Amino acid sequence: MPVFWTGLLVVLASGLLLLVAYPTKALTNPVFYLKMACIVLAVACVRRAERVVLRNAPRGSPRVLALPLVVLLIGSITGGRYLAYTYTRLTVDFARGI
């Protein structure tokens, strides 16, 4: 689990840098919010799975918890790929007010 949390911190840091570089591009795109929701729900799934596994749950429980996690991570990756192609505004032109 330490590797997961370290990897998550690295991904969040690099994502924050991308958000700072082009905030209009991300914050005006609904796919960005879908990706963020997938990440938040995936972290919640990992936390839940971690608690279940550490309590020595029955054999099938971790597998049942893993399926939504995999779906959410695939959704997050797919959303990230679509972010490069689905934006409508890259920057805001303050001179024109748009």
Contact assessment for residue 34 and residue 75, using Cβ atoms and an 8 Å cutoff: yes
CA distances from 90 to 1, 77, 85, 96 (A): 37, 21, 11, 15
Per-residue pLDDT of 67-95, as tens digits, reads: 898 999 999 999 989 888 887 777 666 66
52 confidence band (pLDDT: 50, 70, 90): confident
Average pLDDT over every residue of 46-68: 76
The CA distance from 40 to 96, in Å, is 36
pTM for the complete prediction?
0.79
Do 28 and 87 contact (CB within 8 A), yes or no? yes
Q: How far is CA 53 from the centre of its chain?
A: 23
CA distance linking residue 15 with residue 1, whole number of Å: 21
Please check whether residue 45 is in contact with residue 82, taking contact to mean a CB–CB distance below 8 angstroms. no
